[in-house]
Amino acid sequence: MICRLLRNIERMTGGSGLEARFEEREMEGVSIDSRTIQSGNLFVPIIRNLDGHYYVDEAFAKGASAALWQKDHPHPPDDVPIIYVDDCLLALQNLASAYRSELAVKVIGVTGSNGKTTTKDMLNAVLGTTYQVHKTFGNLNSQIGVPLTILDMDESTEIAVIEMGMSERGQIERLSHIAKPDIAIITMIGVSHMSSLGSREAIAEAKLEIISGIPDGGTLVYNGDEPLLTAKLKELSSLKSITTISFGEGKTNDYYAASIEGSSSEGAFFTVHDYKFYIPLIGAHNITNALATMAAAENVGLDPGTINDGFRALQLTGMRMEKILTPNGVTIINDAWNASPVSMNAAIQTFENLSGYTHKYAVLGDMLELGEYEVEYHKAVGKNINPAKIEYVYTVGALGQHIAAEAEHRFPEGHVQAFLDKEKLLHTLRLRLKPGDAILFKGSRGLQLETVINALL
* Fold of domain 322-456: Protein-Tyrosine Phosphatase; Chain A (3.90.190)
pLDDT the model gives residue 238: 61
Q: Do domains 103-312 and 322-456 have the same CATH topology?
A: no
> SS3 of 221, please?
strand
> SS3 of 265, please?
coil
Q: Which residues, 6 or more positions from 176, have their beta carbon under 8 angstroms from its beta carbon?
A: 109, 164, 184, 209, 210, 211, 212, 213, 214
CB atoms within 10 A of CB 48: 9
CATH of span 103-312:
3.40.1190.10
Determine whether 49 is exposed, middle or buried from the number of CB atoms within 10 Å of its CB (0-12, 13-18, 19+). Answer: exposed
The whole-angstrom separation of Cα 68 and Cα 85 is 7
What pTM was estimated for this model as a whole?
A: 0.84
Q: DSSP state, 414?
A: T
Where are the chain's structural domains? 3-87, 103-312, 322-456
Task: Give the DSSP per-residue string, 50-97.
Answer: SBGGGGHHHHHHTT-SEEEEETTS--PPSSS-EEEES-HHHHHHHHHH
pLDDT the model gives residue 221: 97
Residue type, 417: Q
The domain 3-87 having CATH identifier 1.25.40.420: the answer here is no
Task: Give the DSSP per-residue string, 328-389.
Answer: TS-EEEEE-S---HHHHHHHHHHHHT--S-S-EEEEEE---S-GGGHHHHHHHHHHH--TTT
pLDDT the model gives residue 239: 63
Closest CA to 392 of 435, 368, 425, 345: 425
pLDDT the model gives residue 283: 81
pLDDT along the chain (457 residues), means of 10: 98 98 97 95 95 96 97 95 98 98 97 92 96 92 96 97 92 97 95 74 92 94 94 76 94 95 76 94 89 98 97 82 91 91 91 93 94 93 96 97 95 96 96 96 93 95
Do strands 392-396 and 360-365 pair parallel, antiparallel, or not at all (unpaired)? parallel
pLDDT the model gives residue 199: 86
The whole-angstrom separation of Cα 57 and Cα 80 is 10
The whole-angstrom separation of Cα 370 and Cα 165 is 16
pLDDT the model gives residue 197: 75
pLDDT the model gives residue 78: 93
pLDDT the model gives residue 284: 82
The whole-angstrom separation of Cα 24 and Cα 287 is 51
b/e 131-151 (16+ beta carbons within 10 angstroms → b): bebbbbeebbbbbbbbbbbbb
Please check whether residue 300 is in contact with residue 183, taking contact to mean a CB–CB distance below 8 angstroms.
yes
